[in-house]
Structure 1
Amino acid sequence: MSSPAAPPPSPPVVPPPPPAPSSRWRSRRPEWAGRNYLLLTAAAIITNLGTHGALIAAAFAVLHSGGDAGDVGLVAAARTLPLVLFLLIGGALADRLPRHRVMVAANALNCVSQGAFAVLVLTGDPQLWQMMALTALCGTGQAFFSPAAEGMLMSSVSGEQVSRAFALFRMGMHGAGIGGAALGGAMIAAVGPGWVLAIDAAAFAVAGALRAFLDVGHIAARQPGGGLLSDLREGWREFVGRPWLWSIVAQFSIVVALIGATESVYGPLVARDHLGGARPWGLALAAFGAGMLCGALLMMRWKPRRMLLVGTLGVFPIALPSAALAVPLDVVGVSIAMFVSGAAIEVFGVAWMTTLHQEIPEEKLSRVSAYDYFGSTAMLPLSTALAGPAENVFGRGSALWGSAALIVVVTGLVLLVPDVRNLTRRTKRVTGLDEGAVPRAAPAAQARP
């Protein structure tokens, strides 16, 4: 017999090629960190690096030009007044137009206004009306940007990790604020406020370019409605139909007004008279940013079941900076108060964003966010404009102690609203007002952390 034929040799085993760097990086990326989320986070970090320094620079530009506390308050009010006036229109437009286009246009306006402010400060003696006009343009851009940005961010994440996504976003944003405030204060002391404003203008240009690449293909096209007023009425019904929403916004209309007067007017004045100028105030604001960073780190791991109850309790420590400036404490004491306040308010911030994402339908997010921003900032122009006269009438210390006491009182009143105490975390978002207008406590089987 002939021997059987030898089997053919098996082909050599070729190892699979290593994954491309982009696919390897994508495999390490969390599922909720998609392209839009990453672009939004990067743009927010860049913007905050410039803006936190520019806020200090605007106040000291007024003081360097010979202005007083009243002038600082007027410039701050000029920024917030158009913010209040145009917020609702901005929210309605953001739910009608592609949100990323609204954001890019607003960034372009901010870039131009801050660039002109920088040139004005660097090349001459700026007049009060000029500074007020340019900051008003910046506030107008912010009015159209904020509702679109919040709606875009909330539509970029989904699933059970939304709290972690929001916390990481805010952590990056506030981490940039730490560097921006500290660097801004140091640059103002070294080279003056003009160059800080110029950096802010450049930051808006870069951030706008990034936001131009956002993808809105996953967002369903809006159905044609009855016009701008009809959209505003629909957003208003969503707003007033939720007691937890309008009560907290009413609370923050007072809290934000008091914070604005403290940080925009009284803080720089106390820094000038007792702390040593712009640099220590920049360090105190950086401590506030560091506290927010730590609060965001905490909220990346902590998912409280009663989100709004925990968040509202975090508002009480916001009174600490006003009390520290009223004493006044030294820069270390003020910085500690700012740090604790920042950490506590970040607990509220993540809880608030998670609640809005859970309870508000996606197609109405920008309009509801606009009512949120509008209510929260409605009294800010008045408070910043009256901060100087209030100091003249009551004294700076009494005005600051009154701010601290009022924050505590209004926060205590909000805790009387049942929905604030009882709203619980769910894994699915609602699709309309009827499904989420009156949140109920979860059953015992679902209530475990």
Structure 2
Amino acid sequence: MNWSDSLAPLRNRNFAWYFASRLVNTFGNMMATVALAFAVLDITDSPTALGQVLAAHTIPMVALLLYGGVIADRIPRTLVLQFSNVASAISQGAIAVLVLAGHAEIWMLVCLSIVHGAVSGVGFPAMASALPQLVPRSDLQPANALVSLTRNGMMVIGPTLGALLVVTVGSGWALAVDALTWALAALLLVPVTIPPRESAGEPADTVRELREGWSFFWATPWLWIVVVGFGVLNLIHAGAWTTLGPAIADDTIGRQGWGFVLSAEAAGFLVTTVVLLRVRLERPLLLGMLGVLLMAPPMLILGVSPHLVGLVVAAFAAGAGTEVFGMGWNLAMQENIEDRMLSRAYSYDALGSFVAIPIGQIAFGPLAAVFGYRPVLIASAVAYAAIVALVLCSASVRNLPRAPATPAATVTTTTP
């Protein structure tokens, strides 16, 4: 694969606008991740409270994922995304105003996070399944890599910039930028047109469509095995890394240091994405799960000896490995699942993968208070590695190959 092939999706007008929308949205989100964490810690110096705010976003998102999948398989996905982006802009804007005005309380952030999580649950399946309709199958890997490149590039500068804003002008400004990017992302989707999918000729029936999606999910071993594994992996990651991480950083490497760690993780994503623009990824799930294993060392370092240099190096490696999985997973889904089922498959994937995240977000703060940060983080790293090993015991995961690079049947082509 040469550089011309790698950049081919950008010559497609629809994909280019979709790409731009994802770019600006990701930039705001990367700053908001750091800003929201420290906004909560400024109100109450409690990782338990932070876990509650994070869970308030995750729970309604998970609850609405299946419905979002049915919607995205039924009506134009760009319309679903525009609705989700506008509603997210409003909810994030309200959080930013409260923080900037100094009137924010935990219960307010919880309520607004519920709204933001709900619209995210509706929009996620549409976002994940729109890309295969924008490019031919032969361009799926470079298209996914380009989207990852924007995300990972913004992840390099976003957390550091967000942390810089937090320590200079306050977390509210980073949250305000995130709100603006949600609105701009909605506008950038206006020129995107996706050809209508063929109708099965049957009336809409949400329950029937959910059952059909579940039957497909359960009949595809590699799909449900990885999803079940990630249900536990994401619980551990959300509790040990996302919830306990900022609290430990506050007392050790500092807030700016935590921004450097998150940016190093993003740099690992970015470097790997550039490699994947040129290198075809074979055995996507085998290599992806081996990459995910690299998330265990930074958790271990965080618990044993949270020094900045060690965490930066380990986070970089973890980011690289996670990006390999992300690419492998998207290719496995997009190449092996037909379009009419793809949004529902992504919704069941997200439901299974995300459903336990609130448990980690809520439980790890109290667990650390009872048992101590160090034992909880060490146990988390060991459990994380063990789950990856169990998933790799499945031959359907280890042996899943890439599909032949044949053009998709229906793709919007480049316009003048």
* Fold equivalence (TM over 0.5): yes
- Name the SS of the counterpart of 1:391 in structure 2: helix
The letter for the 2-side match of 1:140 is: A
Q: Please list, as runs of the form range in 1=range in 2, the aligned pairs for 1:17-416 lying within 5 A after superposition.
A: 30=8, 33-217=11-195, 219-221=197-199, 223-276=201-254, 278-416=255-393
Contact kept in structure 2, 1:185 and 1:279, CA below 8 Å:
yes
Query: Hey, what's the Cα distance between the residues in 1 that align with 2:134 and 2:299?
Result: 36
The letter for the 1-side match of 2:280 is: K
| Larger-gyration structure (1/2) | 1
Deviation per CA, 1:106-164: give whole Å up to 9, x if none. 01111001100011111123111101011111111211111001110122122333212
Contact kept in structure 2, 1:244 and 1:419, CA below 8 Å:
yes
Query: Hey, what's the Cα distance between the residues in 2 that align with 1:109 and 1:117?
Result: 13
Query: Hey, what's the Cα distance between the residues in 1 that align with 2:272 and 2:203?
Result: 41
Paired residues, number: 405
Contact kept in structure 2, 1:181 and 1:285, CA below 8 Å:
yes
Measure how far apart 1:87 and its partner are: 0.6
Query: Hey, what's the Cα distance between the residues in 1 that align with 2:5 and 2:385?
Result: 46
2:411 corresponds to = none
Measure how far apart 1:226 and its partner are: 4.7
Q: 162-171 or 422-431: which moved more? A: 422-431
Measure how far apart 1:301 and its partner are: 2.1
Query: Hey, what's the Cα distance between the residues in 2 that align with 1:317 and 1:28?
Result: 27
Contact kept in structure 1, 2:8 and 2:139, CA below 8 Å:
no
Structure 1 residues 222 and 32, CA gap change in structure 2 (3 angstroms): farther
Contact kept in structure 2, 1:48 and 1:176, CA below 8 Å:
yes
TM-score by length of 2: 0.93
Contact kept in structure 2, 1:285 and 1:338, CA below 8 Å:
yes
The letter for the 2-side match of 1:302 is: V
The letter for the 1-side match of 2:334 is: H
1:425 aligns with 2:414: no
TM-score by length of 1: 0.87
Query: Hey, what's the Cα distance between the residues in 1 that align with 2:7 and 2:322?
Result: 28
Measure how far apart 1:415 and its partner are: 1.1
Q: 194-203 or 251-260: which moved more? A: 251-260
Contact kept in structure 2, 1:247 and 1:414, CA below 8 Å:
yes
Measure how far apart 1:34 and its partner are: 1.5
Deviation per CA, 1:23-81: give whole Å up to 9, x if none. xxx99961574222212211111111111111111111111112411101111111101
> Structure 2: 5+ residue runs without aligned partners?
409-416
Measure how far apart 1:233 and its partner are: 0.9
Structure 1 residues 175 and 32, CA gap change in structure 2 (3 angstroms): closer
Q: 318-327 or 210-219: which moved more? A: 210-219
Measure how far apart 1:212 and its partner are: 2.3
Deviation per CA, 1:297-354: give whole Å up to 9, x if none. 1222222332211111111101122112112332121111111000001111111111
Query: Hey, what's the Cα distance between the residues in 1 that align with 2:47 and 2:306?
Result: 20
Query: Hey, what's the Cα distance between the residues in 2 that align with 1:388 and 1:289?
Result: 25
Structure 1 residues 222 and 157, CA gap change in structure 2 (3 angstroms): farther
Structure 1 residues 43 and 89, CA gap change in structure 2 (3 angstroms): same
Structure 1 residues 238 and 121, CA gap change in structure 2 (3 angstroms): same
- Name the SS of the counterpart of 2:252 in structure 1: helix
Query: Hey, what's the Cα distance between the residues in 2 that align with 1:365 and 1:228?
Result: 15
Which consecutive aligned stretches of 4+ in structure 1 deviate over 3 angstroms post-superposition? 26-29, 218-226, 428-431
- Name the SS of the counterpart of 1:161 in structure 2: helix
Deviation per CA, 1:342-373: give whole Å up to 9, x if none. 00011111111111111100111111000011
Q: Which structure: greater helix fraction?
A: 2
Contact kept in structure 2, 1:77 and 1:381, CA below 8 Å:
yes
Measure how far apart 1:430 and its partner are: 12
Structure 1 residues 225 and 321, CA gap change in structure 2 (3 angstroms): farther
> Structure 1: 5+ residue runs without aligned partners?
1-25, 432-449
Q: 105-114 or 34-43: which moved more? A: 34-43
Q: RMSD of the alignment, in Å?
A: 2.0
Bigger relative contact order, structure 1 or 2, given CA contacts below 8 A and separation 6+?
2
